[in-house]
């Protein structure tokens, strides 16, 4: 396979796939040529693709392409029909969705391979299964799902935590839930979202349970207050943009966060006004100040906030 089209919402996921192509075809770093399509013509790129490497067998051309830009698909197809077998071409773009009606999409579908690299639950599940298979390890489907809930959706973080498990279970290739609990570090973003969600929904028991989990991991109350304040600020930003009739995808791009985080936030803020959320941000700022000036005990102050945000 000499032609690849990668698209998705996660740069690190795309880079992992590019690294795999480099490894699979044993391409030397000196034979990797990168183009930003905005700055080059297709003729220049195809001319480079037609030439063999001076030192090694294989060459890789990586093209960052915005699908709103015009590309001469007739010239590209002519090359694809009579390509240099020692040159591999990756066309990639950062986007959640691909317009399958475009000619260039159809060219890669016909002559190459197309991969969607969004870090959705299903894609992450498949990514982890492939990694386990490649390293000759096993993990049940339910434990893979559990693993994802603990590590979040960052590919680099997933790889790091898998690597720890591989080393830990070098003599026993089956990874269990107990192994995950013992070794895998819980993604802080997910924990903070969980406790913020519990606070927003007035779930006092869950708020205190999660608070005690943080305390058992030696987090200071002031740290938790700061994290909560940041999350409430995020909810306020989402609420403000949503009230301005921005779509979920538009909010995601404006705030530069994953669409799934925005989706969860929107589900949490229906019963709260922008004024409510600003009130909680101010309450947390006041609480932080009172703790630092010694006016209130740090543990009692945060617990009171979790029990009754208006105290």
Cα radius of gyration (the chain): 24
pLDDT band of 111, cuts 50, 70, 90: very high
Same domain (yes/no): 230, 137: no
pLDDT band of 82, cuts 50, 70, 90: very high
Nearest to 147 by CA among 129, 168, 130: 129
Q: Residue 311: is its pLDDT beyond 50?
A: no
pLDDT at position 189, please? 67
The span from the CA of 168 to the CA of 162, in Å, is 10
Least confident of 120-124, 160-164, 179-183: 120-124
pLDDT at position 127, please? 87
Phi first, then psi, for residue 213 (nearest 5°) are -65, -45
DSSP assignment of 188-236: HHHHHHHHHHHHHTT-HHHHHHHHHHHHHTT--HHHHHHHHHHHHHHHH
pLDDT at position 215, please? 81
Same domain (yes/no): 267, 194: yes
pLDDT at position 310, please? 54
Same domain (yes/no): 82, 18: yes
Same domain (yes/no): 231, 284: yes
pLDDT at position 90, please? 96
Phi first, then psi, for residue 310 (nearest 5°) are -90, 0
CATH number (domain holding residue 51):
3.40.50.300
Compute the average pLDDT of residues 201-211: 83
Q: Yes or no: say if 63 and 90 are a contact pair by the CB < 8 Å rule.
A: yes
Q: How do beta strands 59-64 and 32-36 pair?
A: parallel
pLDDT at position 190, please? 67
Q: Yes or no: say if 79 and 45 are a contact pair by the CB < 8 Å rule.
A: no
What residues have CB less than 8 Å from 185, skipping those under 6 apart?
150, 151, 161
The span from the CA of 224 to the CA of 236, in Å, is 18
CATH number (domain holding residue 257):
1.20.272.10
172 vs 264, residue with greater confidence: 172
Q: Residue 174: is its pLDDT beyond 90?
A: yes
pLDDT digits (tens, 9 = 90+) for 272-290: 889 888 988 998 999 889 8
217 vs 79, residue with greater confidence: 79
Q: Residue 200: is its pLDDT beyond 50?
A: yes
Domain finish residue from 116, 142, 168: 116
Q: Residue 203: is its pLDDT beyond 90?
A: no
pLDDT at position 309, please? 60
Whole-Å CA distances, 282 to 24, 66, 203, 211, 265: 54, 42, 21, 20, 19
Predicted TM-score (pTM) of this structure: 0.57
Same domain (yes/no): 83, 164: no
CA 125, 216, 230, 235 dihedral sign is positive
Compute the average pLDDT of residues 42-52: 92
User: 165: exposed, middle or buried (C-beta count within 10 Å: 0-12, 13-18, 19+)?
Assistant: buried
Q: Residue 219: is its pLDDT beyond 80?
A: no
Same domain (yes/no): 14, 99: yes
The span from the CA of 90 to the CA of 87, in Å, is 10
pLDDT at position 121, please? 64
CATH number (domain holding residue 167):
1.10.8
Compute the average pLDDT of residues 228-256: 89
Domain assignment of residue 156, given as a range: 121-183
Domain finish residue from 67, 97, 116: 116
Same domain (yes/no): 106, 143: no
How much of the chain exceeds pLDDT 70, in percent?
95
Same domain (yes/no): 201, 278: yes
Same domain (yes/no): 240, 204: yes
Same domain (yes/no): 81, 7: yes
Q: Would you tell me the crossing angle of helices 121-134 and 141-151 to the nearest 10 degrees?
A: 110
Phi first, then psi, for residue 5 (nearest 5°) are -120, 115
Domain finish residue from 91, 116, 141: 116
Same domain (yes/no): 178, 194: no
Structural domain tally of the chain?
3
Same domain (yes/no): 245, 215: yes
């Amino acid at each position: 396979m000499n032609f690849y089209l990668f698209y998705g919402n996660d740069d690190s996921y795309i880079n992992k796939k590019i690294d795999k192509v480099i490894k699979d075809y044993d391409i030397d770093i000196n034979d990797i040529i990168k183009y930003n399509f905005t700055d080059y013509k297709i003729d220049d790129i195809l001319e480079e693709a037609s030439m063999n490497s001076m030192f090694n067998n294989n060459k890789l051309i990586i093209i960052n392409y915005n699908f709103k830009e015009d590309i001469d698909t007739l010239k590209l197809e002519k090359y694809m029909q009579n390509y240099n077998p020692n040159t591999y071409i990756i066309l990639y773009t950062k986007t959640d969705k691909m317009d399958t009606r475009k000619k260039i999409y159809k060219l890669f579908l016909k002559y190459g391979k197309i991969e969607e690299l969004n870090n959705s639950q299903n894609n992450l599940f498949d990514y982890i299964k492939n990694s386990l298979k490649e390293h000759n390890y096993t993990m049940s489907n339910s434990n893979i799902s559990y693993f994802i809930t603990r590590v979040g959706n960052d590919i680099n973080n997933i790889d790091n935590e898998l690597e720890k498990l591989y080393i830990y279970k070098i003599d026993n290739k089956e990874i269990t839930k107990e192994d995950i609990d013992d070794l895998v570090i819980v993604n802080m973003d997910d924990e903070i979202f969980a406790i913020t969600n519990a606070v927003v929904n007035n779930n006092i028991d869950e708020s205190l349970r999660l608070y005690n989990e943080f305390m058992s991991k030696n987090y200071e109350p002031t740290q938790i207050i700061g994290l909560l304040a940041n999350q409430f600020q995020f909810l306020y930003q989402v609420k403000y943009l949503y009230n301005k009739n921005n779509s979920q995808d538009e909010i995601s791009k404006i705030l530069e966060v994953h669409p799934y985080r925005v989706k969860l936030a929107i589900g949490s803020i229906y019963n709260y006004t922008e004024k409510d959320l600003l009130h909680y941000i101010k309450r947390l700022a006041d609480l932080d100040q009172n703790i630092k000036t010694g006016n209130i005990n740090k543990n009692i102050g945060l617990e009171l906030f979790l029990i009754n945000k208006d105290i």
